[in-house]
Structures are given as structure tokens and as C-alpha cells.
Chain A
Amino acid sequence: MVPREPRSTGDNEERPLVAPPARGQLGGQAAELAGAFLMDSTALAVGVFSPDGALRFANLGMRRLLGPAGEPARLVNPSFPQLAAAGHGRGAPIHRGILHFGDLRSIAHSLRGEVWRLGDELLILGEFDVVELERVVVEVSALNSRISSLQRRLVTEQKALKRSLARLRATQSMLVHSEKMNALGKLAAGVAHEINNPLAFVRSNVHTLGEALGRLCAAYEALEEAALRGGPGDVTGVAEALRDDTDLAFLREDAGDLVKGTLGGLARVQKIVADLRTFARLDQAEVEQSDLRENLETTLAIAGPALKSGGVEVLVEWADLPKVRCKPAELSQVFLNLLINAVQAVECRGRGNGRVVIRARDDGPQVALDFEDNGAGMTDDVRGRIFDPFFTTKPVGQGTGLGLTISHKIIVDQHGGTISVRSTPGAGSTFTITLPKELER
């Protein structure tokens, strides 16, 4: 702020602001022109009033301050009653200093000026404080530019924040996906075995079918040759011989079995691939009315090989549950994370002794799922940190430390449910998930 200059209060002014023109100084045309200019001026206000405030003469500036004709003049302070009571001044103004014009509804104006009592009339002379006005313009301009700069910075920062948020979301989605892939990776060996098995017998079946087809084609060619070369008796003889040679009865039965087996094997591969694809889906899972049991069974199918190879017994105790509005693909990921953790936890029991029990129950407005294992269990310290990002008890390179963080996010943030854990070191752990039956959206 520019420091304010001391402002006149009226009492200690020595010289009138508008000195009465000395006789002979301004006259003739100059006085006329100056007078006319004064009449049209709005920066200077000149008015003559009766002591009760009735207007007798005013220039444009004074009329502008007084408001519409016919309404009380808007001189607020000093008021006309105050001026009427001020006496005659005896050669000096009866008021000198600030004059306030305006009313409660209009913009107030403050002018510097003076009031003279001349006979039975009041002469009011005022001028706008130009120095003050210019200072206001400068201040307001500076303020305006500061506000404008601030606003610009605010918007810039807002935009930068939006960009950061978008980057963060992209990174998060990448992390979630890589954790998914990580979980799948752990199962890759088992899944490969699952695919390899049917693949091996499909391959063998197709090989056998190929051989049979070769034999059939040869028989057909022998028949054709006999038909072209000899009579009907020859053809019958050849046909009978061929039937015995190629063992057509067996071939027919065996080919049917081979085709059936091959199709069955291909269907198994197809199912595994479909399960994997459902699981690995990158697109944001959609909300649908879903059967949790089907969901869990798909997950068990993917995890099956890993469970089998570890000799882990899986028991599912399933109550009657209604379908739940949820994001099934996301829930599959949670189930898989919990299953993988359980399988790894029961490794300490030795092959064939690990046990995972999955219990589902209807719990009023929500359903509850327990994943109970008889694994190593956790200390309180570990239990308190398992949902923290990047916290892992697995050797370096084997766990991202995101599995349970993401599970927590899916259950709590996306489904409005809860995920909690009870654990006894040496006895095992139980993860409990609750899901509201109706997903609030």
C-alpha cells in the first residue's frame, strides 16, 4: 500500500480551497468561459441553498451529487440542520473539510470543500480529491492484476494436479494388472500341466485317426480297382477280404471313441483358457448379478493344479446364497490371492497334510466367506501389516506385497465390504470377507 498522505479534517485548514476570484484577475471572455466550464464540470460541485436545504442554484457536479430533482438533497454530513445552526461565520466558511453526499441506497461520495453562509443563503463548494482517486485507481489495478495472476496460478496448479491424478490412476491400474499377472504366474506351471495332459492324448488320438484314415483310403482304392477290372463276383470277394484285413468293425468303434476323446480334451483346454481369460481381464470389471459359488469354482479350477501338486485338501462348505451384485472378475482375483496365500502357508505341514476350508454363509444383509487354513499362522506384528502395500513375508522376487492390498481395495472400496483376519501362530489363519448383497452405486 502506498502510505496515505495526511488528510485535512477541516479545522486546521488555513486557506479556502476555492479562493474568491480577486477582482480584475479573471474577467471578460476568460471569466465567461471559465464560468461556463465550471457549470458543466462534474469534478467540482457548486451549489446555493436556502438554510432549509432548498436548492436555488447548482452546477452539473452538484446536481449529480444531490440526486433526482424533487427528492431531498443527499447531503448527509454535515446536514442542512447542522449547517443552519452553525451561525454566519463572519468572513470565514462555517464548515471546511469533508462533505459526505449520498444515501443508503446509492453510492456515497466524499468531497473536500467548504460551506459559506452568505446572507440567508448557503454556498456549498466541493471538489473530488483527485490525488485520492488516482491512488485508488492504481491500487485497484494492482490488486486486479494480483488476483488475476493468482487465479491463473490456481488453475495451472489444478490442471497439474489433474494430470498427476490421471498418471497415478494409470500407474495404479498397471500395478493391479501386474499383480494379477503375478498371481497367474505362480500358477503357470500347474496350468501348463493341465493343458499338456489333454494335449498329449489329443495328439495321440489324431495320430491314430490319421493311420486309420490311411488304411481306409487304401481299402477304397483296392475296391475301386477290382470294380474296374473284374466282374461283380470279384468285387464281393475283395470286399470281404478287405473287411477282415482292416478290421472295419473295430475301426468304426475306435474312431468314434477317439473323436469323442479328442473333443473332450479340446473342451478341457478351452475351459482352462476361458478361465484364464476371465481372470486376466484388464478392462474394468462390470457389476453384475453373480453366483459367488460359480465364481469360486472357476477360481478353484485355475488354482486346482497348484493345490493338487501341494497335496492340499480343499473343503467347500456352501450354504444357500442368493446371487450378489458384485464385480465377479475382481472377486475372482481376491479368492485366488487368498487361495495362493493359503497354499503357501500350509506348505510347512508337509505334503498331504495341508487343509483349506472355504465356508460361505448368509448373514442377513450380507454374505460372509471364510478362508481357513491350518498353515503357519502369523505373529501380531505381521498380521498388523499384511494389508500394507509392498509388505511381504515371502523371499525377494516371489511376492510383490500387493496381493492383499489389492484384495482389500476390491472388497472395501469397490464392494463396500470388509476383509479381516484371525490368526494363531503355529495353528493357522482365517480370512473373513463380508459382502453386502446389494452393491450401492
Chain B
Amino acid sequence: MVIAERNRAAAERLTSAHVEPPSFIRPEAPLGVVACGYLDALLQGDQRRALEVIREAIEASTPVKDIYVHVLHPCQYEVGRLWQLRQLSTAEEHYCTAVTQMVLSQLYPLIGNADRAGRRLVATAVDGNLHEIGARFVADFFEMAGWDTFYLGASTPAQDAIDEAVHRAADVLAVSATLDDHLASVGDLVAAARADERCRDVVVLVGGQPFGVDHDLWRQLGADGSAPTAEQAVRVAEQLLAAPR
């Protein structure tokens, strides 16, 4: 019921072109120039230049975390915004995401070996969600915080995600939804996790665009928490685990 209403609301937002949401990229923001250069390379279809922009930032001793927060995250949101505004085709959006994924692959080995926190995360895009980059961001931020992370990728069936969380003795299971269409799957996964005795102590976090629009949605879907960014997700997880349950 909740989801059906949301789907209508989402469809309305998508079709009403009256209010154009502002760009996620601002040159004056931290690393704004790098973000502009990177986005421009993506939109020009110039993968080589996009990688070069990131490489130069790394060589200038920019922390990997800052590149995630100030370059890749806003650029990925901007690509999504341009797609919604019909300024980018689906194929172009795929291309931009693929390049960012390649960048993530190259940055991942550079993520510092923080002191191990002794915590374990399983992160995945929910069943039906082919946009896996958000879950990957989340996994990488937990990794930076010293967690052992297990990232399952796109569109993972609920049972597979739960089995993996059990197998890895995860403290947290993080699932992402990109579109409102994915919310039913999120609800199913949370319900399945709650019904599974083996997951009794697993904290379930949900995230993604729909949860940023409706701040109470995670509660309605039965999750333990949600966060607007990957970085904040780490804090939410740590607070939830520290709190008596």
C-alpha cells in the first residue's frame, strides 16, 4: 500500500518538469574543479580523460575518501539527475556508471588498511536493482572504517543475501534501492531477514534515492536504520551496534 502510493508520487515527480532540481556539481564545492572535470569527461564519453582526472587528484595526495565523497558520489547523482531530466540516454548513463565502476576498481586497492574493527558487513543491491554502485560505495566506506566487507553486487535475491549474511557472520546487512520500483523487494528482504532466526542479531540498513525523499520510509519497511550517504551509514551502523538491543 505504502509502496503503491510512493510509486504514484515518483511517477508524478518524474513527469512534472516544472521544477528542475539543482545540479549536484558546484565548482566552488570541495574538489569541485575535479568533480567538474570528471563529469565533463564522462559526458564527453572520454574514459581516458576521466581516469586521468582521478589519477592527477591521487597524485596530488587527495585522500581516496575525499574522491569518493566529493567527486564520484556527486557525479553519480548528477548523472542520475541528467537521466531523469532526459538529457542523458540510458546507454549514456550505463557508460558513465561503467567508467565510475572502473575508477572504483582502481581506487579500491588504495583504500588504507585501517585498524580492523572486527566487524563484518554484507552489502548488496536489492533484487531487481541493477544499479549496484550505491551498495559498492557503502561497502567501500565500511572497508575504510576497518570493517571486513562482502559485496554481492547487483540484483541479489533476498534469500542469497540472507544466506551470505549468515555465512559471513555479518553484523550488518546493507541493501540499496535506486528506484521506487525496488522498494517492494527491500520490504520482502527485510521481512525474510526478520523471519530468519539465524539473522536475529544482524542489523539491516537500507539506503538509496527513495529513502532520501521520504525520511521515515526505512521504518515503514521494518529496517533498523538508513543513512543519506555511505559515510553516514558507517556511523549509523556503529551507533546501532553500540546501543543495547
Would you give the 0/1 interface string for B88-124, flagging 1 where the beta carbon is closer than 8 Å to chain A?
0011001001100110110011000100100000000
Name which residue of chain A comes closest to B91, CB basis. A137
B211 touches A (CB below 8 Å): no
Would you give the 0/1 interface string for B182-195, flagging 1 where the beta carbon is closer than 8 Å to chain A?
00000000000000
B180 touches A (CB below 8 Å): no
* Contact of A152 with B116 in the complex, beta carbons under 8 Å: no
Name which residue of chain A comes closest to B99, CB basis. A144
Q: Given A142-B154, A155-B109, do A148 and B104 touch, yes or no (CB 8 Å)?
A: yes
A149 proximity list for chain B (CB < 8 A):
132, 151-153
* Contact of B101 with A148 in the complex, beta carbons under 8 Å: yes
Interchain CA distance A162-B130 in the complex, whole Å = 32
* Contact of B91 with A148 in the complex, beta carbons under 8 Å: no
B149 touches A (CB below 8 Å): yes
B73 touches A (CB below 8 Å): no
Would you give the 0/1 interface string for A118-147, flagging 1 where the beta carbon is closer than 8 Å to chain B?
000000000000000000010011101110
CB distance from A391 to the nearest CB of B (A): 34
Interface of A is mostly: helix
Indicate which residue in B90, B102, B152 contacts A148 across the interface (CB closer than 8 Å).
Answer: B102
Interchain CA distance A141-B132 in the complex, whole Å = 11
* Contact of A144 with B98 in the complex, beta carbons under 8 Å: yes
A148 proximity list for chain B (CB < 8 A):
101-102, 104-105, 136, 153
Q: Number of B residues whose C-beta is below 8 Å from A?
A: 25
* Contact of B91 with A145 in the complex, beta carbons under 8 Å: no
Indicate which residue in B94, B104, B139, B143 contacts A141 across the interface (CB closer than 8 Å).
Answer: B94
Indicate which residue in B90, B113, B154 contacts A145 across the interface (CB closer than 8 Å).
Answer: B154
A243 touches B (CB below 8 Å): no
Which of A145, A156, A160 has the most chain B CB within a 10 Å cutoff?
Answer: A145
* Contact of B91 with A155 in the complex, beta carbons under 8 Å: no
A204 touches B (CB below 8 Å): no
A420 touches B (CB below 8 Å): no
Would you give the 0/1 interface string for B156-187, flagging 1 where the beta carbon is closer than 8 Å to chain A?
00000000000000000000000000000000
B101 proximity list for chain A (CB < 8 A):
144-145, 148
Interchain CA distance A158-B113 in the complex, whole Å = 12
* A158-180 contacts to B (CB < 8 Å): 158-160, 162-163
A353 touches B (CB below 8 Å): no
Interchain CA distance A155-B136 in the complex, whole Å = 14
Name which residue of chain B comes closest to A136, CB basis. B91
* Contact of A155 with B94 in the complex, beta carbons under 8 Å: no
Interchain CA distance A44-B109 in the complex, whole Å = 45
A159 proximity list for chain B (CB < 8 A):
113
B143 proximity list for chain A (CB < 8 A):
156
7 new A-B pairs (CB below 8 Å) besides A141-B97, A160-B148?
A: A140-B98, A141-B94, A142-B130, A151-B105, A155-B109, A156-B148, A158-B109
Q: Can you list 17 contacts pairing A with B, beta carbon distance less than 8 Å?
A: A137-B90, A141-B94, A141-B97, A141-B98, A141-B130, A142-B130, A145-B154, A146-B153, A148-B102, A148-B104, A149-B153, A152-B104, A152-B136, A152-B151, A156-B148, A159-B113, A163-B116
